[in-house]
Structure 1
Amino acid sequence: MLAEPLQPTQYAAALGTIALTYYLVPYFLDPYNYRRRFSGPWLAGLTGWWMSYNALGGNHSEIVRKQHEKYGAFVRLGPNHISIADPDALQAVYGHGSGVLKTDFYKGSGQVPNVFTSMEKSDHQMRRKRIANIFSQQNILAFEPRVREHIIHLLKRGSRETLDGKQGADFIDKLLQVKNEDGSSISIEELYSETFLFLLAGSDTSSNTLSSLCYHLAINPQMQRELQTELDQHIPLDSSDDSEEQTGLGIVPEYEQIKDLPYLNACIKEALRIHSTVGTGLPRVVPPGKTLKVAGHTFKAGSVISVPSYTTNRSSVWGPDASEFRPERWLEENAGSLNKYFVPFSVGPRSCIGRNLANMDLLLIAATLFRRYSVKALPTTKLEIHEYFVREAAHCEVAIKLREVV
Structure 2
Amino acid sequence: MALTNLYEGVNTPLLAQATLLAFLTYYFIWILYTRWFHPLSKFPGPFWASVSRVWTVLHVLPGDAEKTQRVLHARYGPIVRIAPNELIISDPHAIRTIYGIKSGFSKTDFYLAFRPPWARFPDHFSATDEKQHAERRRIVSSVYTMTSILQSEKYMEKCIDVWIEKLGEMADRKESFELWEWARMYAYDIIGELYFGKMFGFLDAGGDHLGYIKATEDLIPVQTLAGNMPTYIRGIFMLTGILLPKVRGALSALGNLTDATNGMLKDRLAAVHEGGKSERADILGKLLDISTRNGKELDFVLDDVKMESFAAFFAGSETTALTLSGILYHILRNRAVYNKLTSEIDSAYLTTTGHIAYTEAVKLPYLAACIKEGIRMHPITGVSFPRHAPASGCDVSGVWIPGNTRIGVNPGVVHFDKGVFGDDADCFNPERWIRGDAAVMDRFIMQFGMGARTCLGKHISMCEIYKAIPELLKAYTFELGSEEEMQTTSWWLHKPVAIDVRVRRR
Q: TM-score range by the shorter chain?
A: 0.7 to 0.9
For the residues of structure 2 that align with 1:379 and 1:97, how far apart are their CA atoms?
A: 47
What does 1:2-401 align with in structure 2 at a 5 Å threshold? Answer: 2-7=9-14, 8-30=16-38, 32=39, 34-36=40-42, 38-111=43-116, 112=119, 113-157=122-166, 169-179=281-291, 183-184=297-298, 186-237=300-351, 250=353, 252-288=355-391, 290-316=392-418, 317-379=420-482, 381-401=484-504
Partners of 1:217 and 1:375 within 8 A in 2: no
Q: Is the 8 A contact 1:251 1:372 kept in 2?
A: no
TM-score, normalised to structure 2, is: 0.71
Classify the secondary structure of the residue corresponding to 2:443. Answer: helix
2:157–2:355: 8 Å Cα contact kept in structure 1? yes
Q: Which runs of 4+ in 1 moved over 6 A?
A: none
Instruction: Give per-residue Cα distances to partners, 1:174-229, cap 9 Å, x unaligned.
Output: 22223468525524443333222212222111111121122212221111011101
CA deviation profile, 1:79-132 (whole Å, cap 9, x unmatched): 111111111111111001211111010111241310111111111011110111
- Alignment CA distance shift 1:379-1:119 (3 Å): closer
Q: How far does residue 299 in structure 1 lie from its aligned partner after superposition?
A: 1.8
Partner SS for 1:127: helix
**Equivalent-residue separation in structure 1 for 2:416 and 2:131 (angstroms):** 35
Q: Is residue 30–residue 51 contact of structure 2 (8 Å, CA) maintained in 1?
A: no
Per-residue CA deviation, residues 138-183 of structure 1 (Å, 9 max, x unaligned), is 211112111111111212249x9x9xxxx96333222222346852
Separation of aligned partners in 2, 1:302 and 1:313? 26
Distance (whole Å) between structure 2 residues aligned to residue 295 and residue 195 of structure 1: 38
* Equivalent AA in structure 1 for residue 428 of structure 2: F
**For this pair of structures, how many residues does the alignment match?**
382
User: Within 1, Cα distance between the matches of 2:485 and 2:369?
Assistant: 23
Distance 1:168 1:296 in 2: 52
- Tell me the SS of whatever aligns to 2:317: helix
Gaps of 5+ in 2: 1-5, 168-188, 194-278
The one-letter amino acid paired with 2:372 is K
Unmatched tracts of structure 1, length 5 or more: 239-249
Query: Larger % of helix: which?
Result: 2
2: distance between equivalents of 1:214 and 1:110? 32
Query: CA–CA distance in 2 between the matches of 1:347 and 1:379?
Result: 36
Partner of 1:241: none
8 Å contact from structure 1 (residues 251, 368) kept in 2: no
Following TM superposition, by how much is the alpha carbon of 1:23 offset from its aligned partner in structure 2, in angstroms?
A: 4.5
Give the residue type in structure 2 aligned to 1:169.
A
TM-score between both structures, scaled by the size of structure 1: 0.88
Please state how far the C-alpha of 1:380 moved relative to its aligned partner. 5.5
More moved, 79-88 vs 176-185:
176-185
SS in 2 for 1:341: coil
Whole-Å Cα distance in 2 between the matches of residues 350 and 184 of structure 1?
21
Distance in 2 (CA, whole Å) between partners of 1:89 and 1:184 is: 36
Percent of paired sites with the same residue = 26
Corresponding residue for 1:245? Answer: none
Structure 1 residues 135 and 220 mapped into 2: Cα distance closer, same or farther (>3 Å)?
Answer: same
The separation in 2 between residues aligned to 1:133 and 1:354, in whole angstroms, is 12
| Mapped partners of 1:344, 1:395: distance in 2 | 21
CA distance in 2, matches of 1:188, 1:18: 51
- Cα RMSD after superposing both structures: 2.3
Give, in whole Å, the separation in 2 of the partners of 1:128 and 1:236: 41
